[in-house]
Amino acid sequence: MPEPGRALPQPTPETQHFWDGTQAGELLLQRCDECRHVYFPPRPFCPKCVSRKVTVFRASGKAILDSYVIHHRKVPGFEPPYAIAVVKLAEGPRMMTNIVECPQTPEALQLDMPLEVVFEKQTDTITLPFFRPARG
Amino acid sequence: MPHNTVAVVGAAETSKLGVIPDMSQLQLHADAALNAMADCGLKPRDIDGVATAGETPVQTAHYLGITPTWVDGTSVGGCSFMIHVRHAAAAIEAGLAKTILVTHGESGRSGIGRIPRPVPASSLNGQFEQPFGPMGPPSLFPIPVLRYMKTYGVTHEQIAMVSVVQREWAAKNPRATFRNPITVEDVLNSRMIAYPFRLLQCCLVTDGGGALILTSAERAKDFPTKPVYIIGTGESVETPMVSQMESFTSSRAFSVAGPTAFREAGITHEDVDHLMIYDAFAHLPLFGLEDLGFVPRGEAGRFIAERNTAPGGKLPLNTNGGGLSYMHSGMYGMYALQESVRQMRGTAPAQIPGARISVCHGVGGMFAASGTIIFSNQEP
């Protein structure tokens, strides 16, 4: 029997556009048409002013490393030690992710280092957004 | 609304703490409840309010033979019991119930009769955190720590002192799981769990339970136990996802619950003789000390390293040894409340002489929720 892989998301009607976006190689956020607030995770209204007039837009994919742990225990789909990171997107919101194309060490993982999004297909319906050190 | 009209009259933990393979989770609730009823001379027929987390109030009320007129099943993690106490105080003041039982029981280590808590793949946590490899609180709770350390220049050695100092308190408690002294080196050489945190910076996993019985301050005088009055309370929630906290150097839930309780009590920090801050992991006392306003931002690491919270220090903190050394069943808040009540009764193993006011601050989830209770042994 193959080893179980990592846990995968099951989209809901409110988040389907986000996961369609990652499949298409786009990181999609939402902006409130009324108060201009940019937010994550997805929902069909602004969590700041509760306007239902919100627009999905493609984020730059640029971020900085906000904080992380380097996990040393075995988890299905992961080879420890590996970093569980939170990045701060250029547009404002934070999101949890993994840092790829980078040693998983405190020396290599410096807070505030610039990152850029990359997409990794997991199944026919799910592609996850990861981040790597920025090349630009 | 100042809550100086309600008191704790019954308080007890389970007869055993630690490894209890011969009791289910439900029986741990009951064992603690029976001990609390015996503590103040009550029977189930005397109880008309039930609050609990982990089990539902339906389970505990039926199992104990109680017919309540008021129930609360608030279940927001380890601080649920602080929030139950707050709600119970309001319910007694409003006349919804006269005598309320709050129970906790958890077979955290043995897993007997434990209710699984899976993260659904369609939940927000399941979609936006679980795919990136977390496995429970040790992998998630410490995520803000590196940002906190960088912002304020806090060192690994300072944070290690949290565990060292709490072990000193645990050494004074016969029921504490770990009582042997440890050093900063021991902490920093213990097994890495989730950098920057190592084994000795993570809570225990044990079995146990606890229960409290509350009634009006007026009735409290008729009980055999020394009344412990509730003079201030606060609660809040922030986010189910640690990645979505507003800040990684402060907890919004702490910053709402703590100051709300202080305002209700009408006390200043100088009035506080004893403090409990739920320490599932070693950074929680740092966030708690700062968010509750005991020290300026960024100063908590130094404050603890300089032994201000240690035995003999000016602000005794987590005097049972805390979740790091005393016990931690999963939802530890009840044990912090029990230690505050013991300190106010004057019966704690590491008793603070003359203590009159105790602040008990809890966390739920990964900074998801918070509840604060301020106790006093002075008649209102």
Q: Could you report the per-residue pLDDT of A70-121, keeping only the tens digit for each?
A: 999 999 999 999 999 999 999 999 999 999 999 999 999 999 999 999 999 9
**Considering the domain boundaries, does residue A2 fall inside one?**
no
pLDDT of residue A84: 98
pLDDT tens track for B42-51 = 999 999 999 9
Pick from B122, B132, B146: CB nearest A96: B132
Q: Is A77 on the interface with B (CB under 8 A)?
A: yes
pLDDT of residue B380: 76
* Chain mean pLDDT for chain B: 97
Answer yes or no: is pLDDT of A1 > 80: no
Q: Is A64 on the interface with B (CB under 8 A)?
A: no
pLDDT of residue B87: 98
Q: Suggest the residue from A86, A104, A110 to mutate for an interface test with chain B (most B CBs closer than 10 A).
A: A86
Q: Which domains does chain B have, with CATH numbers?
A: 6-113+204-376 (3.40.47.10)
* Residue B36 pLDDT level (bands cut at 50, 70, 90): very high
User: Which chain A residues are within 8 Å of B244, Cβ to Cβ?
Assistant: 40-41, 94
Answer yes or no: is pLDDT of B238 > 60: yes
Q: Is A34 on the interface with B (CB under 8 A)?
A: no
pLDDT of residue A2: 65
Answer yes or no: is pLDDT of B2 > 80: no
pLDDT tens track for B191-202 = 999 999 999 999
**Considering the domain boundaries, does residue A74 fall inside one?**
yes
Answer yes or no: is pLDDT of B1 > 60: no
Q: Is the Cβ pair A67, B248 closer than 8 Å?
A: yes
How far does the CA of residue A129 sit from the closest CA of chain B (Å)? 10
pLDDT tens track for B267-303 = 999 999 999 999 999 999 999 999 999 999 999 999 9
**Considering the domain boundaries, does residue A57 fall inside one?**
yes
pLDDT tens track for A2-12 = 678 999 999 99
Q: Is the Cβ pair B129, A111 closer than 8 Å?
A: no
pLDDT of residue B115: 87
DSSP track, chain A: -PPP--------TTTHHHHHHHHTT--EEEEETTT--EESS--SS-TTT--S-EEEEE---EEEEEEEEEE-S--TT--SSEEEEEEEETTS-EEEE-B-SS-SSTTT--TT-EEEEEEEE-SSS-EEEEEEE---
Answer yes or no: is pLDDT of B165 > 80: yes
Q: Is B205 on the interface with A (CB under 8 A)?
A: no
pLDDT tens track for B109-128 = 999 999 888 899 999 999 99
Answer yes or no: is pLDDT of A127 > 90: yes
User: Which chain B residues are within 8 Å of A85, Cβ to Cβ?
Assistant: 132
Nearest to residue B9, comparing CAs of B275, B208, B221, B234? B221
Please identify every residue of B annotated as catalytic. 278, 326
Calculate mean pLDDT across residues B142-153. 98
Pick from B133, B241, B244: CB nearest A71: B133
Q: Is the Cβ pair A78, B133 closer than 8 Å?
A: yes
* Residue B379 pLDDT level (bands cut at 50, 70, 90): confident
**Considering the domain boundaries, does residue A60 fall inside one?**
yes
Q: Is the Cβ pair B127, A68 closer than 8 Å?
A: no
Whether the bond between A114 and the residue before it is cis, its omega within 30 degrees of 0, is no
Nearest to residue B347, comparing CAs of B175, B223, B177, B205? B175
Q: Is the Cβ pair B143, A71 closer than 8 Å?
A: no
Q: What is the dihedral of CA B268, B273, B279, B282, to 10 degrees?
A: 90
pLDDT of residue A4: 82
Domain encompassing residue A52: 16-133
**Count of domains forming chain A:** 1
Calculate mean pLDDT across residues B69-97. 97
Calculate mean pLDDT across residues B336-348. 98
Can you name the residues that pair with B363 across neighbouring β-strands?
A: B370
Q: Is B135 on the interface with A (CB under 8 A)?
A: yes
**Considering the domain boundaries, does residue A9 fall inside one?**
no
pLDDT tens track for B180-191 = 999 999 999 999
Give Cα separations from B187 to B156, B160, B202, B277, B321 (angstroms): 10, 6, 10, 20, 15
With pLDDT > 70 as the criterion, what percentage of chain B qualifies?
Answer: 99
Q: Is the Cβ pair A72, B130 closer than 8 Å?
A: no
pLDDT of residue B3: 60
Q: Is B144 on the interface with A (CB under 8 A)?
A: yes
Answer yes or no: is pLDDT of B206 > 90: yes
Pick from B119, B121, B192: CB nearest A72: B192
* Residue A27 pLDDT level (bands cut at 50, 70, 90): very high
pLDDT tens track for A41-78 = 999 999 999 999 999 999 999 999 999 999 999 999 99
User: Which chain A residues are within 8 Å of B154, Cβ to Cβ?
Assistant: none
B239: nearest CA partner in chain A: A41
Calculate mean pLDDT across residues B313-317. 98
Q: Is the Cβ pair A9, B127 closer than 8 Å?
A: yes
How far does the CA of residue B262 sit from the closest CA of chain A (Å)? 28
